[in-house]
Chain A
Amino acid sequence: MSWLRENWRVATLALLLVASSVALFAPGVGASGGSGGAAGGQQATAASGPTNLNYGLELSGGVRLRATVTGVTAEGVDVTVDNEAAISEEVAAALDVERGDVRARPAGDTVEVYQDVEPSALADALTAAGYEPDTTRVGVTQATRDNIVNIIGSKVDATGFGGADVTDIETQTGDRTHYIVVEVPGQNASQVQSLIEGRGEVELWAYYPGDNGTQQNETVLRGEELVEVDQPDRNRQGRPIVPVQLSQDAAERFASDMQRYGFTSQQGISNCQFPDGGYCLLTMLDGEEVYNASMGPTLAPDLQSGDFVNNPTFTITANSMEEARTLQVNLQAGALPAELQFQDSYYVSPSFADRYKPLTLVTGIAAAIAVALMVFLRYGEPKVAIPMVFTALSEVVILLGFAAVSGLALDLSHLAGFIAVIGTGVDDLVIIADEVMTEQVSSSRVFQSRFRKALWVIGAAAATTIIAMSPLAVLSLGDLRGFALITILGVLVGVIVTRPAYGDVLRRLLTDNR
């Protein structure tokens, strides 16, 4: 027992090393990729290869997008279930935006406008309507952001991009800016960007000659009026289609609209000359026409007879299978309430990212050899130098073990942190070695007193490093955070366990008594 009391640091170091090795190399021990979301929205790719380490996007390949949501919010507005609609209409009219771009929420007493308008304009509009807001600001509410995160999540899922991660993060700089972060492993930037560019609002428009002879556009079907969206298919003519089913209400309205606008009349059937006239059904995506179709000769009688309302299935046609898939994804996930503005995108191809791993390892080993060489040249005594190099490297092993257990997704910033840890580690070990070796160490007691003095310097240096890194560890933009966290963690492990353990080992080797 007394051995353990005096050598607890060495024992702990040995224990940590064994535990870390198990965490790193034993199959099935490391945290699964699913828990990687805890690491500040970093995407963890399921561990594969010789270790249980998870790699972030920068080391495994894929794309990361950061975007802000367009919109302004008024807070402290007296919104009730009764005046909710009235507020929205008045604000929409005053700001000259669409009714759908204004959202009043009784739950939070907030009014949001999903357009790029000045907060003061919203304040004025609300005040003029008699609803005095407490504050107005750029940005949207948490409820809207949650909704956006969910919709993007289902869009990414519907496209079949595996392992994607969508989160909402807040940074403390600027005016409390929130970012929506989308990380998709293994895809390229434009694929993911096109998926969430625009709101993804699919509509069916009727394009027909109006009463005064000019062509009219009227929305006859919205994405949210569908109760079922099937996988894209091809119709009998080989055209890519998305089969959908309408809700009962929507089916009735659609049938009556079609009849009213004359699509079921003799000249309405199979008579589309878009954009020159005629009767067309336009498939619209975010207000852009993607396809124009004529009224089919079989659908028209169904609409008239009421058969359509009893079995309200319909097909939305597209030009290509890819376009059909885009429409299907947008219909299934629903439209985003507001547009996103891309702030930052990062893409690295999986094969290129993969190359980073061995190259970084070789670079690290080369640096470690340089350290070992310097230490040997300086002390000339293997008894001092070998445990020193061993201790410095064991800190890295312990940190990697921690990364494997916690499922931390390693990125380049973490690797920079490892460099910092080895650097301060070597500094501390040199301090310990020099302190202990200045004069012939005769007894364990002399050693203890010198060792304690060395520990003061190391502790003070460690405390300053931790203080220096802590602002970055709490500021959450991701990139420098991983660096700061690893550095702090490494310094703590080093000062509490590994570096003092080196002192213990050195004492055994130099004093020889007990």
Chain B
Amino acid sequence: MSRFEVPDVDLSQYSMRQTVAPPLAVLVVALAVIGGWMATTGAPANPGIEFTGGSEMVAESDASQSEVRTAFETEPASIRQVGTGGDQYLVTFQTETVPDIRDDASVSIDVVQSQEVSPTFGSSTQQLALFGVAGAFLGMSLLVFALFRTFVPSIAVVVSAFSDIVVPVALMNVLGIQLSLGTVAALLMLIGYSVDSDILLNNHVLRRSGGFWESVDRAMKTGVTMTITSIAAMAVMTVVSYIFGIQLMTAIGLVLVMGLTTDLMNTYMLNVTLLRWYKFEGVAQ
């Protein structure tokens, strides 16, 4: 049986500039995408109806997508197929209530799930979600600083967690994935995942005996295993739940795969470089 081995990457052969540039560039691009989104749409992401208000339904029908589209009294804002069964459609409307099916519609449509949100309720949910993510991030940052009590290693964890959230949000914008309560939950999970590998790295470098590169190497063996295992689990979850049409799990899985991949880059390029600077130059000053 072929074994999965964490590849030995000798990071010491690269200069600090070489290892820190890619993650920073990605972060800057992500921030630019989010900034551009804000300038053009007025929001940093694509908020779903849970945050903007509107209505949405899952309709089951043997008819084609275009037939379902024209079957409602109000034209849907969007319609797409859910799952791979071929008879379920997710139909979104800008109206606050789900419109009726036209009397003269020739197709039979079965509404199996529907959701209606008023704009005021949506904005209050949005406020709550924003408050939740901000509170979670702040609490995490404070605790990290309390744990390590030194500035550079602590800020390294915080910056990398920040990037782990920002990059998936930018990717969601580009890929057209909407921000829903499910994806907000996934972004919060990313805080937890991101901090896991960062704390592991900091712990190996700061609190353990042995040289810097030896410590990084050991932390990497464990950390990369952790993250790759999680990515594998989430990728499988994304694919299987997509086939079954469980949208919440697909959204969570996809965001986590994007975030964990970002984390791999951030932890072992950005974070390692910050620690390297701290160990070899920061402390000497």
Contacts and interface: CB of A to CB of B under 8 A. Distances in A.
A3 B1 CA distance: 38
Interface residues of A, number: 75
B128 interface: yes
B254 to A, nearest CB: 13
B229 A464 contact: no
Given A416-B182, A456-B203, A363 B116 contact: no
A344 interface: yes
B3 A378 contact: yes
Contacts of B208: 453
B107 interface: no
B123 to A, nearest CB: 8
A464 B249 contact: no
A368 to B, nearest CB: 8
Interface in B249-275: 249, 252, 256
Given A343-B121, A415-B249, A469-B188, A463 B143 contact: yes
Nearest to B119: A343
Contacts of A375: 229
Interface in B216-254: 218, 221-222, 225-226, 228-230, 232-237, 240-241, 244, 246, 248-249, 252
Interface stretch (B20-28, B71-79, B191-199): B191-199
Interface stretch (B7-15, B37-45, B131-139, B169-177): B131-139
Interface string B106-138: 000011111111101100110111011001110
Contacts of B2: 377
A349 B252 contact: no
A427 B226 contact: yes
A265 B221 CA distance: 99
B126 to A, nearest CB: 9
A380 interface: yes
A371 B233 contact: yes
Interface residues of B, number: 75
Contacts of B136: 467-472
- Say what secondary structure dominates the interface of chain B: helix
A460 interface: yes
Contacts of A344: 115-118, 121
Given A366-B240, A416-B248, A464 B199 contact: yes
Contacts of B155: none
Contacts of B228: 374
A340 B147 CA distance: 49
B236 A370 contact: yes
Interface string A332-372: 00000000011111111101100010011011101111110
A494 B125 CA distance: 31
Given A347-B111, A471-B132, 15 more contacts: A174-B124, A342-B116, A343-B117, A363-B246, A367-B236, A370-B235, A370-B236, A378-B4, A380-B1, A453-B208, A464-B144, A467-B143, A468-B191, A480-B129, A487-B192
A94 interface: no
B181 interface: yes
Which 3 pairs show the lowest CB-CB distances between chains A and B? A471-B135, A343-B121, A377-B4
B205 interface: no
A483 interface: yes
Given A347-B115, A380-B1, A472-B136, A426 B221 contact: no
A174 B241 CA distance: 35
Interface stretch (A116-124, A289-297, A417-425): A417-425
A362 to B, nearest CB: 7
Of the listed residues A344, A470, A479, A487, the one surrounded by the most CB atoms of chain B closer than 10 A to its CB is: A344
Interface stretch (A29-37, A253-261, A430-438): A430-438
25 contacts: A173-B124, A189-B114, A344-B116, A345-B115, A347-B113, A349-B112, A360-B246, A363-B237, A363-B241, A366-B237, A367-B234, A370-B237, A378-B3, A419-B252, A420-B189, A423-B192, A435-B222, A457-B199, A460-B203, A464-B140, A465-B195, A467-B139, A472-B188, A477-B125, A483-B188
Given A174-B127, A424-B193, A461-B195, A345 B116 contact: yes
A303 B44 CA distance: 71
Interface string A86-105: 00000000000000000000
A347 B128 CA distance: 22
Contacts of A227: none
Contact of B118 (A341, A359, A431): A341
B156 interface: no
A423 B244 contact: no
A415 B232 CA distance: 18
A177 interface: yes
Contact of B58 (A352, A427, A477): A352
A346 B218 CA distance: 49
Contacts of B230: 423, 426-427
B90 interface: no
A423 B233 CA distance: 8
B249 to A, nearest CB: 6
A362 B240 contact: yes
Nearest to B204: A457
Contact of A470 (B127, B139, B233, B252): B139
Contacts of A475: 128, 131-132
Interface centre among B2, B132, B195, B203 (most CB of A within 10 A): B132
A66 interface: yes
Contacts of A412: 182, 248
A15 to B, nearest CB: 28
Given A352-B58, A360-B246, A472-B132, A377 B1 contact: yes
Nearest to A483: B185
A373 interface: yes
B191 to A, nearest CB: 5
Contacts of B192: 420, 423-424, 461, 464-465, 468-469, 487
B115 A467 contact: no
Contact of B226 (A352, A431, A472): A431
A377 B3 contact: yes
Given A461-B195, A479-B181, A370 B139 contact: no
Most buried by B among A346, A423, A477: A423
A368 B236 CA distance: 9
A480 B128 CA distance: 10
Contact of B143 (A376, A456, A464): A464
B31 interface: no
A362 B241 CA distance: 9
